[in-house]
Structure 1
Amino acid sequence: MAPINSGDNQPNQKIPRESIRKAVTSLLKWKKKQQQISDQKNPISGNIDNFIYLLLTLKKTPHKNFTTIPNKIPLPHSLHTSPESTPTCLIIDDRPKPNSQKLTFEFADKKIKSLGIPISKIIKFSKLKSDYRSFESKIELFNSFDVFLADRRVIGVLPEILGKVFYGKKKKNPVPVELRRDGDWKEEIEKGFCSSLLWLSKGSCSVVKVGRFGGMEVEEVVDNVVAAAGGVAEVVPKKWGGVKSFHLKFFDSLALPIYQKGVKDELKS
């Protein structure tokens, strides 16, 4: 899989790498101690959230137009082990299209196999609507795969179909990929696998996953934070001018500051 730029050379990067490294190192040390304590109390405990989150605080609440669809944030290091060892589900848009041929399961399956793309299961959008209506079926689907990718054209309606099981805690939101019949599916899916999602909330604070405890080195997480901060600043209203602060945290940890807009920056923006 081709590496993605870590973000170190981005002209708009404003967070010192050393500040990020210190925060990441502190969080990982804290998480290791917490896990040791948890293992002593309950050796078979599971469902622990081991992701590191980049917490974004905006100067102003974003307009509702910014909060309706997720923003794909490319990361240089995937949050998952590898595509080959990660159960992945691909949702395709098989709805009839007025000016193009409908995307069928047979076409998608043949293309996936011919390109050697490690997708565990392909689900048609029509089948998703008909076969996964019950809460139990959504839970089963949620637990069956670690990564969900979906045709960009259906991303906007998936929250209504998959509901709180997928979107309540934003743990397995499907990542949008461009699946044109004549497009480069391999590149799109590889990019999707190495991306995180930013859903701008209706308030001023939002989060995006940037790292994981266990399986990722400190410098890999730092690379991801550098890239994610620059990527987030590119898609939020007013870009860096709209960013008030960035923090890093685990779900159950304190938030460590890595960027705070200063008085001079406030006056410039």
Structure 2
Amino acid sequence: MAPSKSVTLRSETAVSLVDPDQSLKASKALLAHMKKASKEKAANAEKKDLLADPEDEEGSKETPIWLTLTTKRHISDSRSLKPGKIVLPHSLNTDPEIGICLITAEPQRHYKNLVASDDFPADLRKRVTRVIDVGKLKAKFKTFEAQRKLFAEHDVFLGDTRIINRLPGVLGKTFYKTTAKRPIPVEIQARVPKTDGKRVKRTKDANTPNACTSAQLAGEIERAVGAALINLSPTVNTAVRVGHAGWTAEQIAENVDVVAKTLVEKFVPGKWKNVKSIYVKGPETAALPIWLTDELWLEQKDVVADGSDEAKAIIAGEKANIGKKRKSLEGQPEEAEPVAKKAKKTKAAKVDKDKLPESDDTKLDKEIADRKAALKKQKKAAKKALEV
């Protein structure tokens, strides 16, 4: 079936935000569908999984749930190797056995002391399995074998915002060929106080590193580990993990509302005017819409109404361009078929140039003149239609 040429004109009305009730309805429907599909899959399985958790008969509780955002134009001009993060009301990573590698600015010893301090939570200290500065990281993990070993030893990698842009050159494609374990930026330098609403310039001291306190470092790590990660790329589709199948519908809906609002306001150019649709989905499910735009295009100049004078002028101009690009071949002699190459040329194979027919340029000149005249008429008609 041929695609429709009808176009929805952009309205100037404000776009409404995501309705929390719609998010909750979609979350309930998605969880119910995933549980039903998991039961059917387990019932139709030829072999029963004896190692499966008996308390998790309705499917894996760790199955991710995604929020999918589609925009009218690309969300970014280039692929970003530094993921953005959105702090969620319900953390995505609460596993007490997760391994965290913290990559800091120099000196490494000062940040190790912060983690070992009494002000740093003991349960979080068990999860921070390595603290290393960028200088030692570059010297110790030069080879691919060492980088792959480091990649496998930890579950989450955090990078100081001051050195996060240097890490792609240090860690290479071992870490950056996928988005699974790219270092997450964390702000661990000293907080600058404000006086009368203005930040006071920090006095530099060679003996004192520019670092936050142990409590502030712990808070930054907790927020980064449980945050939703945004990996920007030149595309109109962006997926963000917002929950797991083992959560309640209320928890997923709350995360969806926060991610949708923050993602659009912080990362989407043009904000809500550039958003086409927002969905929630599982890895193998259909996408359930929670918000759809009434506006197809971003700007008024991008579209014209069907049957208008502007549309007629554009169509007339396109036809004129087609005629302009084509060249007439009538009246020209047909090209001779290519002659196969021979090892030795003979006199009989040589072509007598005097016997070739002479080209008749008078016909060709007349056709070119006629086409130019027709093109001028079409341009005048198009210009008159635009002026009206």
For Structure 1 versus Structure 2, the TM-score category normalised by the shorter chain is 0.7 to 0.9
**2:27 is aligned with 1:21:** yes
Partner of 1:219: 250
- CA shift digits 1:83-136 (9 cap, x unpaired): x43221111122xxxxxxxxx121101111213242221122123223334333
> Distance between the aligned counterparts of 2:183 and 2:250, measured in 1?
27
Change (3 A) 1:43 1:186: same
Partner of 2:38: 32
Aligned partner of 1:230 among 254, 261, 278: 261
- CA shift digits 1:38-86 (9 cap, x unpaired): 79476679xx98322222211101342684642211111111124x432
- CA shift digits 1:174-231 (9 cap, x unpaired): 22110113422122222212212101111211222111234x3332222211111111
Change (3 A) 1:170 1:78: same
How far 1:255 sits from its partner (Å)? 2.9
Which letter maps to 2:104? I
Partner of 1:89: 101
Report the number of matched residues: 245
Aligned-pair identity in percent equals 32
Q: Where do residues 38-77 of structure 1 align in structure 2 (5 Å cutoff)?
A: 40=47, 50-64=63-77, 67=80, 69-77=82-90
> Distance between the aligned counterparts of 1:18 and 1:146, measured in 2?
31
**2:220 is aligned with 1:188:** yes
**2:257 is aligned with 1:244:** no
- In the superposition, the TM-score normalised over structure 2's length comes to 0.55
Partner of 2:114: 111
Partner of 1:207: 239
Specify the SS of the correspondent of 2:163.
helix
Maintained 8 Å contact 2:76/2:235: no
Which letter maps to 1:113? A
- CA shift digits 1:8-64 (9 cap, x unpaired): xxxx7423333432354246426734874779476679xx98322222211101342
Maintained 8 Å contact 1:20/1:225: no
Structure 1 vs Structure 2 CA RMSD: 3.3
Maintained 8 Å contact 2:24/2:249: no
Aligned partner of 1:154 among 155, 163, 181: 163
Specify the SS of the correspondent of 1:53.
strand
Maintained 8 Å contact 2:27/2:253: yes
Maintained 8 Å contact 1:67/1:202: no
**Over alpha carbons, which structure has the higher Rg?**
2
> Distance between the aligned counterparts of 2:146 and 2:27, measured in 1?
41
> Distance between the aligned counterparts of 2:245 and 2:144, measured in 1?
30
Which letter maps to 1:226? D
> Distance between the aligned counterparts of 1:86 and 1:188, measured in 2?
16
> Distance between the aligned counterparts of 1:265 and 1:64, measured in 2?
19
> Distance between the aligned counterparts of 2:172 and 2:283, measured in 1?
21
Please identify, of 155-164 and 123-132, the stretch whose mean Cα deviation from structure 2 is larger. Answer: 155-164
> Distance between the aligned counterparts of 1:266 and 1:23, measured in 2?
31
> Distance between the aligned counterparts of 2:153 and 2:116, measured in 1?
21
- In the superposition, the TM-score normalised over structure 1's length comes to 0.76
How far 1:172 sits from its partner (Å)? 2.0
Structure 2: give runs of 5+ residues left out of the alignment: 1-15, 53-59, 190-209, 301-388
- CA shift digits 1:144-181 (9 cap, x unpaired): 22222211122223334334443333122222110113
> Distance between the aligned counterparts of 1:178 and 1:251, measured in 2?
32
Partner of 1:79: 92
